[in-house]
Amino acid sequence: MSQDPVWSAFAASYDELVPRLGCFRRMVDKAVAHVAGRATVVDAGCGTGLLFEPLLGVAERVVGFDPDATMRDRAAARRDRLPAAAAGRVSVLDGRAERFPDAIAEPVDAILLLNVLFNVADPDVVLAECARHLRPGGRLILTGPRQPPDLAAVIERSIVEWRAAGTYDDSHRAAIDQHLAAARRIVVEPGHMRHFFEPGALVERLRGHGLERVVAADGEDYFGQNFHVCVER
């Protein structure tokens, strides 16, 4: 599957730094709470699979897919490090959100689209595909930037949190430098960050795809830089 090489360059530093960010962990906790008790959860644009383990704590089966081979390889490796019984409940597929992989044939109980929508060519194509794959009562959870992100501010505020918790050390600095260098291409070069949404505007857009019941919609993720929306079909 064709891929945007910026994501391959991003994979290592993403995997190293992002799970340490308090704002990322808070986003994950919110997203996971929305899918508690659901049988099958699709993690669309699963990246390096950072959501797999938390999702397995609340759902029976996780299907992650991503178009980028480097991200996906890390996701598969993360899955393979889980105990066998847990690993057997996770699939990692090649695919993109505009057209889900053929292996996702049945309607699913929940779909995550976390920090993916900003990068797709046409959000409406992706939202229509998500709506098509949700069973009635199924949930779609979306997060992403409300405006061009200020990553330096996210890092600064994260450092304050790490220092307050007494967990900040030199390994953070190295991971931060690598991540900011890799992220620069995505944030600064044109063509990667294409779409920004205020939560209310995204809710309206979702309504047009038949996803009308709003479970949550706020602009609080990532220190107020990102939207967090959950809708039910």
Ligand X SMILES: C[S@@+](CC[C@H](N)C(=O)[O-])C[C@H]1O[C@@H](n2cnc3c(N)ncnc32)[C@H](O)[C@@H]1O
Q: Where in 22-61 is the site for ligand X (CB under 6 A)?
A: 44-47, 50
Q: Which is nearer to ligand X, 99 or 213 (CB)?
A: 99
Name the minimum Å distance from CB 184 to ligand X: 14
Name the minimum Å distance from CB 69 to ligand X: 9
Q: Which of 97, 110, 127, 231 binds ligand X (CB under 6 A)?
A: 97
Residue 225 binds ligand X (CB under 6 A): no
CA 68 to chain centre: 14
Task: Count CA atoms closer than 13 A to 138's CA, side-chain side.
Answer: 20
Total site size for ligand X, rule CB under 6 A: 18
Q: Where in 143-182 is the site for ligand X (CB under 6 A)?
A: none
Residue 117 binds ligand X (CB under 6 A): no
Residue 104 binds ligand X (CB under 6 A): no
Q: Which of 22, 54, 67, 101 binds ligand X (CB under 6 A)?
A: 67
Token pair recorded at residue 62: 């996780």
Specify the pairing of strand 108-114 against strand 40-44.
parallel
Beta carbons within 8 Å of 123's beta carbon, 6+ residues apart = 117, 195, 205
In the chain, beta strands by DSSP E: 40-44, 61-66, 90-94, 108-114, 134-145, 213-220, 226-232
Q: Which of 79, 96, 172, 233 binds ligand X (CB under 6 A)?
A: 96
Q: Which is nearer to ligand X, 137 or 224 (CB)?
A: 224
Residue with tokens 């260098």: 181
Q: C-alpha angle 135/138/143, rounded to 5°?
A: 130
Residue whose Cβ sits closest to ligand X: 47
Residue with tokens 């906790």: 29
Pair 93, 63: CB distance under 8 Å: yes
Backbone angles phi and psi of 29, in degrees to 5? -60, -45
Q: Which of 13, 40, 91, 119 binds ligand X (CB under 6 A)?
A: 119
Q: Which is nearer to ligand X, 23 or 203 (CB)?
A: 23
Q: Which is nearer to ligand X, 164 or 188 (CB)?
A: 188
Residues that bind ligand X (CB under 6 A): 7, 44-47, 50, 66-68, 71, 96-98, 114-116, 119-120
